Structure 1
Amino acid sequence: MKFSKLVLPGVTMIAVTYGLARFSFGLLLPEINRTLEMSELVSGLISSLFYLAYCFTIILSTVITTKEGPRRMILSAGLSAFIGLLFMCIATNVWVLGLGVLLAGGSTGLVSPPYGAAIALWIKEGEQGRANTWVNSGTSFGIALSGLGAILLTPHWRLTYLIYAIVACLMLVWNFQVIPKKETGSSKLMLKKGDLAIRGVKGAVPLSLASLLLGASTAAFWTFSRSFIEVAGDYSDLQLSGFWVTIGMFGVLGGFSGSLIERRGLSFSYKLGSLAIGSASIILAVTSENWLLSYLSAGIFGCSYIFLTGVLIVWGIRVFIKNASLGIGVPFLLLAVGQVLGSILAGLFIGTWGYAISFMLYGMVGIAAALMGPNEESKR
């Protein structure tokens, strides 16, 4: 299959599920809090549902993709995002909002493993690393679009989610038309003995620990960074939305992680990304009142997050070389587990110690994750 024919709809589906359905919540959270009168603890609990749903659906998606191929799960992801966004649009209480969050968050778990498998099936081997990292960068485009939407629609968060739902429906139709119905070469995806086992797989333990720590370290930034700068500084609505756009725009640079891995190696790339993502939270913790430095932290965070998820994809596929969907599923599952715990604790920590101390703590966790990276370069 032609590179762009698969990668472009993949980028848009990732943009919808991750950027619009999942991570836009942090941008819209202050207005949602005011409308539904939620505390910081409740906000943290609701936000953790994104990651909790992700944990369940990425396991389901990995197993089904391995057995049946990628088409069914990719389309299920688009449908889940569409319905979840509609529920979030009409939410009149935390229960309806929570249901929408579960469906929207679940869409991200459904979509990642099958797109990794689709690329393994239909993209030439020499182009697969680049295809995976660029599809993964769709998150950045979605975040940037959500920021632009907030600039135009603030404080109408219900209308925002309605527009996102319409976009999700359109991207679902596009993927329905593009993804082949018959899995040509799908014997590569047939479930074999040991394909879904991680015990004894060389490199699985450091990959899992690194993913867990990185997930925990990013949870506070995704959920509370916008609320942090709103409380800490004298920001206009345009500046607050611009902060989110900066995360997305700089995140596009993370799509070059595949190229850096080829030039400098997996270990170097991982350590660079971990140090950068930890520093982003620390910079915000000490400079939240300064819009220029806050935007700098947003840019570093956006770029390093997309960069690191690209690194984890390449690392995971190299560790689980016989199963591309498992290679994506394992690190992304552990990333989400870390974000579940990190999101719940972030709400508690912020309520107890305040934003600055909490963000400093989360930044230190990100820097500590650099110690868990690959020790040697694995080859395909």
Structure 2
Amino acid sequence: MKRSLQSPVRPHPLLFATSGVALIAVTYGLARLGYGLFLPAFSAAFPLTPAVSGLLASGASILYCVSAGIGFRHASLRPRGVAGLAGLSAALGSLGVAAAPSTPVFVGGVLLAGMGAGFASPAMVELVRRNADSSAQGRLQSVVNSGTGFGVVLAGALSLVLGEAWRLAWVLVAVLAAASMLAVLRLDRSSDRPSARPAGRWAAPSLVTRSSVHGLARPLCGALVFGSGSAAVWVYGRATLEQAGGMGVSLSAGAWIALGLGGAGAAAVSRRLAEHSIRVTWPLSTLVTAAATALVGTAPGSLLLAYAAAFSFGLAYTAATSVLILWASAVAADSAAGTSVLFIALVLGQAAGASLTGLLLQEGTAAAFLVAALACATSAVVAVPTTAGVARVR
């Protein structure tokens, strides 16, 4: 990226963090998760059977892992370049969705747009590290990660206001992706030159070396299991509220907005997440996610309980992913690379969980969601740091 995109003035770290929130909001909450929200409108415009829709969602997850792997490899040395890839892929993919004249072009747009999220997380982890004092990094990492919730809120609002005019909605997503990327690059006060890296961190990390995942065995296991359980709400939550709960389109979109508000609310607890031990924050966030998942599946017909469950799920899920970032920062040799590995495990778990939940839904909604809740609860146990590792993860 050209140096002219960097501000000569040293902005307050919170101002830079705000731009990071915007980039995460667009790449995750809109470009990636917006597919599910607009799926009814997409299905009306293109011949998307449920099977094809599921395959497309799986393909998007696979390409997310590819882009996260690229971010793993390069974000520690070239975070500005990876941030640029995040904004460009989300913007160009969203434009492809908006202008798609045929199903193949539409599919390509969806896949490209979803890759932006994989680039965004490792880039922002490294850029926050470079732009904030060490005492504030944990809190700001959680604040930036809460951007997913803001994006989900905006996605829900767009689906309500522009549900049928979905092409216009995705043009707006493209514009927001480009604008947030430029804001990040403009407000970044760090250098993208190798000389800015701490001593001993000149080489790009590799996905295949033992050092890349050293110390991450427990959070990797936790992320994989947690992802498998969280997929039920992300993939089937809105459909469950409409089909099993009898909610109308507007009410189910409102539940999605409540979920996003919960995710955005995770920013309010960012300081507490950074201050408390991961032995406390990880089990707490995953167990609340489990309870909310169970409630969605067992009480979809209760408006009050469904909205409360959606809000709680958004808050707890976002908090859990923030804890994964803090965990990677605490134990991994490279925080951006460690975050990428954990988020890849999370998404792979979601891909597997989506298929399993889909099969279980044939036996009953409550049973499928209770199994998903059990997976979330199990992740609270399998990933708790050992006593020997407490010092490293606070």
Query: What is the TM-score normalised by the length of structure 1?
Result: 0.91
Q: Distance in 2 between matches of 1:368 and 1:237?
A: 33
Deviation at 1:249, TM superposition (A): 0.6
Contact 1:48 1:339 in 2 (8 A): no
CA deviation map 1:64-120 (0-9, x unaligned): 123x32110101100000011122223455433331222122111111111111122
Distance 1:181 1:120, change over 3 A: closer
1:261 partner letter? L
| Structure 2 counterpart of 1:171 | 180
Structure 2 letter corresponding to 1:169: A
Counterpart secondary structure, 1:353 = coil
> Structure 1 residue 208 and structure 2 residue 220: aligned?
yes
Q: Confirm or deny that 1:325 pairs with 2:336.
A: yes
Q: Does the residue aligned with 1:288 lie in a helix, a strand or coil?
A: coil
Query: Which segment is superposed worse, 118-127 or 146-155?
Result: 146-155
Counterpart position of 2:319: 307
Residues 1:127 and 2:136 are matched in the alignment: yes
Unaligned runs of 5+ in 1: none
Deviations 1:166-210 (CA, angstroms, capped at 9, x unpaired):
222222332332235733762228334977644596532111100
Residues 69 and 186, structure 1, Cα contact 8 Å, conserved in 2: no
1:204-262: per-residue Cα shift (whole Å, max 9, x none)? 21111001111111122112211111112332332122111101111122224542334
2:123 to 109, 114, 126: 114
TM-score normalised by the chain length of structure 2: 0.88
SS in 1 for 2:38: helix
Q: What's 1:103 paired with? A: 112
Aligned to 2:50: 40
| Local SS of the residue matching 2:26 | helix
Identity between Structure 1 and Structure 2 (%): 28
- Aligned-partner Cα distance in 2 for 1:111–1:356: 35
CA, structure 1 residues 254+204, in 2 after alignment: closer, same or farther (shift >3 Å)?
A: same
Cα-to-partner distance string for 1:275-300 (whole Å, 9 max, x where unaligned): 11111221111111111111111011
Paired residues, number: 377
Structure 2: gaps spanning 5 or more residues: 1-9
Aligned to 2:376: 366
Which residue of structure 1 aligns with residue 192 of structure 2? Answer: 183
Name the CA distance, whole Å, in 2 between partners of 1:109 and 1:167: 17
Matches within 5 A, 1:257-272: 257-272=269-284
Is the contact between residue 36 and residue 92 of structure 1 (CA under 8 Å) also seen in structure 2? Answer: no
Pairing 1:70–2:82 present? no
Taking the aligned partners of 2:255 and 2:141, their CA distance within structure 1 comes to: 27
| Alignment partner, residue 297 of structure 1 | 309
Q: Once the 2 structures are TM-superposed, how far is the Cα of residue 263 of structure 1 from its aligned partner?
A: 4.4
Identify which of 225, 229, 241 aligns with 1:229. Answer: 241
Contact 1:41–1:347 (8 Å) recurs in 2: no
Classify 1:356/1:160 alpha carbon distance in 2 versus 1 (closer, same or farther; 3 Å). farther
Separation of aligned partners in 1, 2:210 and 2:13 = 31
Deviates more, 1:131-140 or 1:338-347: 338-347
Structure 1 residues 193 and 158: alpha-carbon distance in aligned structure 2, compared to 1, 3 A threshold: closer
Q: For residue 58 of structure 1, what is the amino acid of its counterpart?
A: A
Q: Measure how far apart 1:348 and its partner are.
A: 4.0
> Cα distance 1:300–1:317, how it changes in 2: closer, same or farther (>3 A)?
same
1:375 aligns with: 386
Q: In 2, Cα distance between the equivalents of 1:61 and 1:216? A: 23
Give distance in 2, aligned partners of 1:210 and 1:276. 15
Write the letter of the residue equivalent to 1:272: L
Matches within 5 A, 1:335-354: 335-350=346-361, 352-354=362-364
| Contact map agreement 1:143 1:244 (CA 8 A) in 2 | yes
Residues 1:202 and 1:177: Cα distance change in structure 2 (over 3 Å): closer
The one-letter amino acid paired with 2:258 is T
Q: Which residue of 2 aligns with 1:239?
A: 251
Q: Contact conserved, 1:215 with 1:337, CA < 8 A, in 2?
A: yes
For residues 48 and 325 of structure 1, what CA distance do their matches in structure 2 show?
24
Q: Is the 8 A contact 2:212 2:338 kept in 1?
A: no
Distance 1:193 1:295, change over 3 A: closer
